[in-house]
């Protein structure tokens, strides 16, 4: 009897161990399935991470290219502004030169008119001194005479004001 009892106890223990083994085997299978699922999810997340990392690198490169293009555009615009400022300064200087040139030519014309008026006055004065008719008729021919012209202009001095 003792042997039978021991056999029964041993049999019960074996059954429990079998049941425990089956439970552990089921848990192992379930755990392995979960591990496979989690491994697959991990790989998927790693791929997503790699894709995002690649995207970020591409975007960073694109941003750097845009920044370089913007920097180049700013440099080109700065150069263009400098050229336009230089051109503007040249145009202002040219305008001032033209204005001064016009002023100078106006002054020259005024002085030429004064010289002509003075020559005419000299001829009238000579005509009064030497007789109205004889000198007056010769006055018109004397205008082209270099000797009379040098007499008329020997005391004349033309001074131009300094141009600004």
151 has a pLDDT exceeding 80: no
Q: Are the C-beta atoms of 122 and 128 separated by less than 8 Å? A: no
Choice among 13-22, 60-69, 143-152 with the minimum mean pLDDT: 143-152
Using CA atoms, how far apart are residues 127 and 114, in angstroms rounded to an integer? 20
pLDDT of residue 162: 61
Residue-wise pLDDT tens digits, 116-134: 999 999 998 988 887 655 5
Nearest alpha-carbon partner for 56 in 160, 72, 128, 48: 48
58-64: average pLDDT: 98
pLDDT of residue 39: 98
Residue of higher predicted confidence among 21 and 105: 21
Using CA atoms, how far apart are residues 99 and 37, in angstroms rounded to an integer? 90
156 has a pLDDT exceeding 70: no
| DSSP per residue, 56-81 | HHHHHHHHHHHHHHHHHHHHHHHHHH
Stated as kind and residue range, the H or E segment containing 117 is: helix 2-130
pLDDT of residue 104: 74
74-78: average pLDDT: 96
Residue-wise pLDDT tens digits, 43-59: 999 999 999 999 999 99
72-95: average pLDDT: 93
């Amino acid at each position: 009897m003792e042997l039978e009892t021991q056999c029964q106890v041993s049999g019960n223990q074996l059954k429990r161990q079998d049941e425990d083994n089956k439970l552990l085997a089921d848990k192992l299978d379930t755990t392995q399935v979960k591990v496979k699922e989690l491994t697959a999810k991990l790989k998927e997340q790693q791929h997503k991470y790699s894709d995002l990392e690649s995207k970020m690198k591409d975007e960073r490169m694109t941003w750097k290219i845009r920044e370089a293009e913007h920097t180049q555009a700013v440099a080109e615009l700065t150069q263009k502004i400098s050229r336009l400022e230089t051109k503007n300064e040249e145009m202002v200087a040219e305008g001032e030169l033209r204005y001064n040139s016009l002023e100078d030519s106006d002054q020259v014309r005024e002085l030429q008119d004064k010289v002509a008026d003075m020559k005419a006055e000299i001829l009238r004065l000579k005509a009064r001194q030497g007789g109205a008719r004889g000198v007056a008729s010769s006055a018109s021919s004397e205008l082209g005479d270099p000797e009379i012209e040098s007499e008329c202009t020997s005391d004349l001095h033309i001074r131009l004001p300094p141009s600004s």
